Amino acid sequence: MVRIVQVGLGPLGVRAAREFLERDMGRIVGAVDPVHAGRPLAELVEGADPAVTIAPDLASLGCWGDTDAAIVTTRSALPDCFETLRDLLGLGVHVVSSCEELSYPWLQHPIMSQELHERAVKARRVVLGTGINPGFLLDTFPVALTGVCHTVRRVVAGRVQDATTRRIPFQKKIGATLSMEAFQAEVEKGTLRHVGLPESLHFICHYLSIPFDDWSETLEPVVAERDLECGLGPIPAGHAAGVRQVAVATRGGEEVVRLEFQAAIGQAEPRDWVELDSDPPLRAVIEGGVHGDAATTSILLNAIGSVREAEPGLRTMADVRPPRCQVRRDA
C-alpha cells in the first residue's frame, strides 16, 4: 500500500488518481491544483477520501509524514515543473511525472537536471519522467529490444495513430480540419507540436552510445486526400487530417536513428513499431498501436514501484527496472 499526493488535476491527473484507487494501490493523502483549490478531491475523483481537500499549492498541503510518492501531471516543459519537483524532493517524496521533457531532461535542461539530481541524491529519493510517448514506445522500448543484439547500426521507431476515435482535444491538437494556411499558423505559434521526439531521439543515442553529428525534427500536415469527418466537423480534401513529425539523428550524412510520429483522422494501419538494423536484425510491431490515454496513466502508476526500488537521483526509464502491471484480479 502506497501513500501518494496527486499534483495536477487536469484530465490526466484525474484519471491517474481514479485508476490508482480503482486498482487499490493505496491512499491518496493529498491533491494539489490551483484551478480546483478548496474543493473536496472526491468531487473530481470518485472514491477519494472525503477528508482530502484540493490544495492550491504544495506549501498549503499539510501532513507529509508518511507520503511515499507524488504523481506530477502538470506541464510538458521542465522549467514549468522545476519548482514543484524541487519542493517535492524537499518534502522527501519520490516523484513520477508525465512531464515530457523530464523523459530525458539532460538534453534541453542540463543545469536544472543536475540540480534536481543532486537534490534527489541528498534526499535519498528518485525523480522519474515517464509516459507512452515520450517515455516508452519511441525510447525505452527500442533501447530494451537492443538487449538481445550484438551490434546496432541503426534504430528506427514509429507511432502511427488513427485519431478518428480519439477525444476532440486530441483531434484539435493534431490540427485536424485546418486549412494549410491555418495549420502553418498554428505551427508557428507552437501549439501543434507534440513534445518529446527530440528527447526520445537523444535518449536512444545516449543509452546506446550511438555517435551522431547532426539531428533535426520536422513537422508537416497529413493532408486529407478525400473529404473526411471528425469530432470537430468536416475535413475537406486538401485540409489537414493530422500531423506528422519526424526526428532524425545523422552521422556523416547517414541516418543512425529515425523516429516517426503520425496521428491523423482516417489513418490506415495504426501501429507502433521498432526496426533495428542490428545483429541479429529485429523488427517488432505492436499491432493497432497502444492506446495513448489509457496507457499513459497506466505507466505512471506502474512506475511507482520502479521508482521506489531505484537508486536515488534524477533517473530515466533506462535506469530503472521495467514498470509492470500488478493487478489484483479479484479487484
Instruction: Determine if 250 is a binding residue for a second copy (CB under 8 A).
Output: no
Distance CA 185, CA 90 (A): 42
Q: How far apart are CA 298 and CA 131, in angstroms?
A: 9
Q: Site for a second copy (CB under 8 A): which residue of 3, 23, 27, 258?
A: 23
Task: Name which of residues 125 to 144 contact a second copy (CB under 8 A).
Answer: 132, 136, 140, 143-144
Q: How far is the CB of 135 from a second copy (least distance, A)?
A: 9
Q: By rule CB under 8 A, what string of x and - marks binding of each residue 288-307 to a second copy?
A: x-xx--xx-xxx-xxx----
Of 13 and 221, which has the nearer Cβ to a second copy? Answer: 13
Q: Cα–Cα distance between 95 and 245 in angstroms, integer?
A: 29
Neighbouring residues of 66: CB distance < 8 A, sequence distance ≥ 6: 3, 29
Among 170, 200, 141, 128, residue whose Cα is nearest residue 291: 170
For residues 171 and 302, which CB has a smaller minimum distance to a second copy in the complex?
302
Q: Which range, of 54-62, 90-98, 222-230, 274-282, touches a second copy by CB under 8 A? A: 274-282
Burial status of residue 50 (CB atoms within 10 A of its CB: 0-12, 13-18, 19 or more): exposed
Residue 318 lies near a second copy (rule: CB under 8 A): yes
- Within residues 209-248, the interface with a second copy by CB under 8 A covers 209-211
CA atoms within 13 A on the CB side of 26: 20
Query: Whose CA is closest to 289, among 277, 273, 312?
Result: 273
* Residue of 39, 251, 258, 308 that binds a second copy (CB under 8 A): 251
Q: Which three cell numbers stand for residue 193?
A: 507540436
Helix (H, G, I), strand (E, B) or coil at 25: coil
CB closer to a second copy out of 48 and 55 = 48
**Three cell numbers at 72?**
506530477
Kindly give the pairing relationship between strand 228-230 and strand 233-235. Answer: antiparallel
Q: Please tell me whether residue 267 binds a second copy under the rule CB under 8 A.
A: no
**Chosen residue from 60, 114, 216, 326 binding a second copy by CB under 8 A:** 326
124 counts as binding a second copy under rule CB under 8 A: no
252 makes contact with a second copy (CB under 8 A): no
Bridge-based pairing of strands 2-7 and 26-32 is parallel
Instruction: Give the interface size with a second copy as a residue count (CB under 8 A).
Output: 59
Q: What is the distance between the alpha carbons of residues 30 and 108, in angstroms, rounded to a whole number? A: 31
> From the CB of 96, what's the least distance to a second copy, in Å?
12
Q: Which is nearer to a second copy, 80 or 279 (CB)?
A: 279
Binding map of a second copy across residues 88-107, x = CB under 8 A, - = no contact: --------------------
End-to-end Cα distance, the chain = 14
- 207, three cell numbers: 543509452
Binding status of residue 329 toward a second copy by CB under 8 A = yes
SS3 93: coil
Stretch that binds a second copy, among 47-55, 170-178, 185-193, 321-329 (CB under 8 A): 321-329
* Residues near a second copy (CB under 8 A): 19, 23, 132, 136, 140, 143-144, 146-153, 207-211, 251, 256, 278-288, 290-291, 294-295, 297-299, 301-303, 309, 311, 318-331
